Structure 1
């Protein structure tokens, strides 16, 4: 099956591109305590003015977090790595189950319809993978095919979408789901360093699921069609976002280079130009931008370098405000809000964009 991309009057003839699959349902979930930035500063007893400023100037109002319980003196001690891994497993299954079922309900489907489950997480390591644990937890048909994407970070939702879109194209009419579930509370280090503050001020817990189906012969389903993907690995910044073992803390610790927003912004045009190459489309033809809620400076850098308006990234900004950075599923939280807004029209084009370790920018072009 192919679709025709419309070109402007002064362009060449239309180009036919293959339709990969359709996005037919989205659902999200979060768990833990909804906590504001000032409340979190108080709970963690952070007094350093520089650290406080990182929290209070983040453009985040509140996030969902599952923090360690306070001791008798009211202090919250750092959790050992083993406890953090157990927390990740528990929260990932809890949030993932809720997001998956919400997504299927939106798609008018049930667990018995599921034929492929691709699970994404970077906030803990599980063997067997999350897909196997959810199949057991929810009683999904054990013949359901599955895949797990681990450790790719905030960009991984689009890597998974690429995988499941390919699976969907090979299995017309069958239901596949991308499930991103990130228990960022299980990747927190509770100390007073600026490195830790940058991470602890930003990430929140959340899960998001997206259902995909390719039209079978003679079928036309509602939902945007995925047309094309484009990626860009910024090899000069391969160490700018990383998850390292901290021997002093005896646990893993996430690192974000302060130059990341500028690195992402400076390379945003490169990957978007590649995405649109051969389609006859210009950036001005894109009506909907669903950008990863990576942080205020990241969003601002993308806006400036791509010439976007604040309206273009309204959902990205709102998700950051209400949930913080929920890693790989952030762009699906924005997509859910766009669906609920009900402003898309047939023929509209959209760009999905995520950024993460590598450093990597992932994109997808869709059409309603």
Structure 2
């Protein structure tokens, strides 16, 4: 396919408006499932000998990922699982990881399951009705009056889409605790057919879940927020590249299959400045005023393209890089893994600004501005 790298003229942005009740991050938690496996180990497990494909795995800037692979047959070979088995795997892993991430998040927020008033679950690695939110509410015995929402199929950018919506819910329900939960069983989206198309995907994604607790106004004693306030969001969809990232039905294999266009890192990089400029418009801030950058761990080339086009340093994206190294691309929750590492550093100071950025199908760049 042909994708234009030329960035269109930026439209004037509307002035930033603060919501009547600013939502603040109250806690964060992450979880993984499956076994940790290094890239060389994975090449051996999948019996990949093609030097071109091996190069994709070994030059990914990923050391290890957590995966749940199909069991080997009597000859030691691992084959693609039927779509029905993959859907079962997604349901099992997404709930397992989601429960752990939610519990870790609530613990970090100083809250309990009884404090939860809204649960928004995000996933793009399987399709379920009822959604993950209902399954987790049943699994944990959460109050059945807890409101819920599910965001399905938006891809790696979806965590910020969910944060945008839940921040609005939080502002409308001051003092009540809400959680955004991204749970991605990427192992349930793998095809093992030996092609370069699937090799690019199989070299990159890992299983993981991440949860973020939000509260606005005067929080209760059980959920005192300590994280940044959420100030503003901005979205940008590059419609010329709408086919560049897809998860759709492969008629030849009789299953869903993910596709990444080789040009997508450069497309994202070429439009990153537009997205961030729009976010900062009307705030009086420049990019140099941003102390903390939490960018989606989309892959080595994506990170490099964003760094170059935004003039960032490797230190600015240290958590993005380290999350990719340790977990691979865990899709919608990747930026929350980075946020957790920033919180653990304890370096953010009151008054400092941060930018959250995710990228995914559409092709879409989502951004958010926060302040500690």
1:263 to 264, 267, 270: 267
Check whether the contact 1:20–1:166 (CA below 8 A) recurs between aligned residues: no
Q: Which residue of 2 aligns with 1:176?
A: 178
Q: Which residue of 2 aligns with 1:84?
A: 86
1:292 to 290, 296, 301: 296
Q: Which residue of 2 aligns with 1:111?
A: 113
Q: CA 1:79–1:221 in 2, change beyond 3 Å: closer, same or farther?
A: closer
Q: Which residue of 2 aligns with 1:68?
A: 70
- Equivalent-residue separation in structure 2 for 1:221 and 1:201 (angstroms): 37
Q: Which residue of 1 aligns with 2:11?
A: none
Check whether the contact 2:354–2:371 (CA below 8 A) recurs between aligned residues: yes
Normalising by the residue count of structure 2, what TM-score does the alignment of the two structures yield? 0.93
Q: Which residue of 2 aligns with 1:7?
A: none
SS at match of 1:242: strand
Check whether the contact 2:123–2:152 (CA below 8 A) recurs between aligned residues: yes
Answer yes or no: is 1:247 the counterpart of 2:251: yes
Q: CA 1:66–1:255 in 2, change beyond 3 Å: closer, same or farther?
A: same
Answer yes or no: is 1:303 the counterpart of 2:307: yes
- Equivalent-residue separation in structure 2 for 1:367 and 1:124 (angstroms): 34
Q: Which residue of 2 aligns with 1:3?
A: none
- Measured against aligned partners, the alpha-carbon deviations of 1:97-117 in whole angstroms (never above 9, x if no partner) come to 000000000000000100000
Structure 1 stretches of at least 4 aligned residues deviating more than 2 Å after TM superposition: 15-20, 216-222
Q: Which residue of 2 aligns with 1:10?
A: none
Equivalences, count: 354
- Equivalent-residue separation in structure 1 for 2:267 and 2:17 (angstroms): 34
Q: Which moved more, 1:255-264 or 1:239-248?
A: 239-248
SS at match of 1:17: coil
Q: Which residue of 2 aligns with 1:187?
A: 189
Write out aligned runs for 1:303-322 (5 A). 303-322=307-326
SS at match of 1:160: helix
- Measured against aligned partners, the alpha-carbon deviations of 1:103-156 in whole angstroms (never above 9, x if no partner) come to 000000000100000000000000001000100000000000000000000000
Q: Which residue of 2 aligns with 1:273?
A: 277
- Equivalent-residue separation in structure 2 for 1:216 and 1:317 (angstroms): 36
Structure 1 segments unaligned to the other structure (5+ residues): 1-14
In the TM superposition, residue 327 of structure 1 has moved relative to its aligned partner by: 0.0
1:229 to 218, 230, 233: 233
CA RMSD of aligned residues (A): 1.3
In the TM superposition, residue 223 of structure 1 has moved relative to its aligned partner by: 1.7
Q: Which residue of 2 aligns with 1:143?
A: 145
Check whether the contact 1:349–1:365 (CA below 8 A) recurs between aligned residues: yes
Check whether the contact 1:99–1:207 (CA below 8 A) recurs between aligned residues: yes
Check whether the contact 2:175–2:220 (CA below 8 A) recurs between aligned residues: no
- Equivalent-residue separation in structure 1 for 2:148 and 2:186 (angstroms): 23
Answer yes or no: is 1:362 the counterpart of 2:366: yes
- Equivalent-residue separation in structure 2 for 1:217 and 1:300 (angstroms): 39
- Measured against aligned partners, the alpha-carbon deviations of 1:69-99 in whole angstroms (never above 9, x if no partner) come to 1111111121000000000000000000000
Q: Which moved more, 1:216-225 or 1:184-193?
A: 216-225
In the TM superposition, residue 17 of structure 1 has moved relative to its aligned partner by: 3.1
Normalising by the residue count of structure 1, what TM-score does the alignment of the two structures yield? 0.94
Q: Which moved more, 1:265-274 or 1:218-227?
A: 218-227
Q: Which residue of 1 aligns with 2:199?
A: 197
Check whether the contact 2:23–2:217 (CA below 8 A) recurs between aligned residues: yes
Check whether the contact 1:215–1:221 (CA below 8 A) recurs between aligned residues: no
SS at match of 2:240: helix
- Equivalent-residue separation in structure 2 for 1:280 and 1:351 (angstroms): 14
In the TM superposition, residue 265 of structure 1 has moved relative to its aligned partner by: 0.2
Q: Which residue of 2 aligns with 1:8?
A: none
In the TM superposition, residue 221 of structure 1 has moved relative to its aligned partner by: 4.1
